[in-house]
Chain A
């Protein structure tokens, strides 16, 4: 579905080569400024001045019109200032393309109770859930058919634990339905629990593409994230990661 070869964007990304197949739930991890958002923006077709190749469904990204891309590719961005007092229902309605608001999506993101509230009155986590619903609505028919590319840039930012897991379970289901889901975030344990491909970024480079985080040793992870990381075996069989501050 997505193939990137020797992608370089001046000052942001350096010689990235990777691919994501249908059905994969890819987690992009790395420190702040490591190039995660730039990679997602490039894959969505929003970055100019790049060299290298990006292909979607075997076709060069530049050959798609904005309208064609919009039908199967979506991107949730990190920062979204909204200066008008739209209600949640209005904001979502603009992206339904004449369809009814799917109750599956409303329930999965738990947004039914504040559909009539103005977007500006929502908390950070509530706003984030609505934003995710909005971008998913844009590609909803493709998502149902299992041929969508979902790009989410730090979707767990501001979400409580319950909604983080609810969101990732839903995204996992989308991936199992044949879609490609690529998310960036900073939670090693969510990554270990849900990812089936992990892309590790550092200073604009893709330093590793792994089936899971535990393919790397604690010292390798500590080096990539510039922070001491220790892993423990959990009773359920998978690893739990813990970061700690060294005493000065």
Chain B
């Protein structure tokens, strides 16, 4: 709540708001707050879900290549679709990101299913997907003009300032529905800690559950990427820290991840804007924070 209020009203004269202040609040601050909340919640909840589904505590949409898949399709649309109208783009971008996210989610799931309990292989497969996506984006950079290249670079670094109302009206309901679905699956995810067979024995329709969870994760990550670009490590850090402190009950961890993911992204943006005085690419800040935590997590896992 504090971060939302600060993000909305910091620097504005809220007791006697001018027309310009109102415009700033309505056209800039509110979309920014909604983007941060939706993207933070989407990344954290889908990450908390994928970690259980893939039996890998290090799973994060960025690390296992889902974000890269979405980014690749988005880059194709941004660079190749110069003549596409902005109205079409606001529909095309979430759809493309969803398709990219879904393809990479299915790829990584197929790898994880074959290599149960081999954490490193799933991460390596994710790195392979990210590297391939990165290479293809680099090829597109090579053949694009300077303006398109600048747009793409800024977008790939992740920014909360790209979203406006038309984009949000498409992406926000997708995130709300898919995250809402994942939040209701706490008990099923608790059973899934013990493997697909145990979950089925406990009463879960595993085939249906897998399909819908992977779809919901791909939808929420795809929509998040379409409005804010590629934002690293939020998904890894948030559920990891929550499970470390509060235990493993997903009926608590999933909603708590949504809240913490949303407020963490708001605080990151708020602090980077206040301290640096300019709007830093948010992924730069989250990656700086998340990298050491990721290394610590790997070290902790390898000690077990």
Contacts and interface: CB of A to CB of B under 8 A. Distances in A.
B202 interface: yes
A65 B190 CA distance: 20
Contact of A67 (B56, B194, B197, B203): B203
Interface string B221-244: 000000000000000000000010
A44 B201 contact: yes
A94 B187 CA distance: 7
Interface in B257-301: none
Nearest to A69: B203
Contacts of A44: 201
Contacts of A46: 197, 200-201
B195 interface: yes
Given A67-B203, A94-B249, A83 B119 contact: yes
Given A84-B193, A86-B193, A94-B193, A135 B119 contact: no
Interface string A130-167: 00001100100000000000000000000000000000
> Chain A interface: which size bin?
20 to 34
A82 interface: yes
Main SS at interface, chain B: loop
B248 A95 contact: no
A94 B117 contact: no
B247 interface: yes
A52 interface: no
Interface stretch (A25-33, A73-81, A181-189): A73-81
Interface in A74-118: 74-75, 77, 80-87, 90-91, 93-95
A230 B56 CA distance: 49
A11 interface: no
A7 B56 CA distance: 36
Contacts of B201: 44, 46, 69-70, 73-75, 135, 138
Contacts of B55: 81, 83
A46 B197 CA distance: 7
A90 B249 contact: yes
20 contacts: A66-B203, A69-B201, A70-B203, A74-B201, A75-B201, A77-B197, A77-B198, A82-B193, A83-B56, A83-B117, A83-B119, A84-B52, A85-B248, A85-B304, A87-B247, A90-B249, A94-B187, A94-B191, A94-B193, A135-B201
A154 to B, nearest CB: 15
A120 interface: yes
A66 B191 CA distance: 13
Interface string B147-169: 00000000000000000000000
Interface in B193-221: 193-195, 197-198, 200-206
A75 B248 CA distance: 23
B10 interface: no
A201 B187 CA distance: 37
Main SS at interface, chain A: mixed
Of B117, B119, B198, B206, chain A has the most CB atoms within 10 Å of the CB of B198
Nearest to A95: B202
Contacts of A135: 201
A95 B66 CA distance: 32
Nearest to A68: B203
B6 interface: no
A80 to B, nearest CB: 7
A90 to B, nearest CB: 5
Contacts of B203: 66-67, 69-71
A73 B200 CA distance: 11
B293 to A, nearest CB: 16
A70 B197 CA distance: 12
Contact of A90 (B52, B119, B205, B247): B247
Contact of B57 (A69, A73, A83): A83
A95 B197 CA distance: 14
B116 interface: yes
Contacts of B200: 46, 66
A199 B200 CA distance: 26
A89 to B, nearest CB: 9
A66 B205 contact: yes
A81 B117 contact: yes
Nearest to A81: B117
Nearest to B56: A83
Of A83, A86, A90, A91, chain B has the most CB atoms within 10 Å of the CB of A83
A46 B243 CA distance: 31
Given A83-B56, A138-B201, A138-B202, A90 B248 contact: yes
B248 A84 contact: yes
Nearest to B195: A80
A135 B197 CA distance: 12
Given A66-B200, A70-B202, A80 B248 contact: no
Closest 3 pairs (CB-CB, A-B): A70-B203, A94-B190, A67-B203
Contacts of A65: 205
A49 to B, nearest CB: 15
